[in-house]
Amino acid sequence: MQVLYFAWVRERIGLPREEVQTSAATVADLVAELRGREARYEAAFADLTALRVALDQELCAFTDSLDGVREVAFLPPMTEG
């Protein structure tokens, strides 16, 4: 699946996107896999309350299933303005 990183998440990881092979069942499982890769991923996902996630371009929860998902995007919370 494609994993996209936006704003400061992209800056910490150093990539705008990557293709990830995973056996993760949920977004939280995917985050745990990514955090185990390297310190830069650990830094990016250190505070999940500061992140939002979208599955196939729809905002969702970290507990949501990845079944059938083609794209996961991690982004900071959006503000109105």
pLDDT over threshold 80, residue 80: no
pLDDT over threshold 80, residue 79: no
Report the predicted TM-score, pTM, of the whole model to 2 decimal places. 0.92
Domain boundaries defined on the chain: 2-75
Task: Using alpha carbons, select from 16, 20, 5, 25 the residue that is nearest to residue 65.
Answer: 25
pLDDT band at 14 (very low <50, low <70, confident <90, very high): very high
Cβ atoms of 46 and 13 within 8 Å: the answer is: no
Looking at domain 2-75, does it have CATH number 3.40.140.10? no
Query: What secondary structure does DSSP assign to the chain, as a single string?
Result: -EEEE-HHHHHHHT-SEEE-----SBHHHHHHHHHTT-HHHHHHTS-GGG-EEEETTEEE-TTSB-TT--EEEEEPPP---
- pLDDT, tens digit, for every residue of 15-74? 999 999 999 999 999 999 999 999 999 999 999 999 999 999 999 999 999 999 999 999
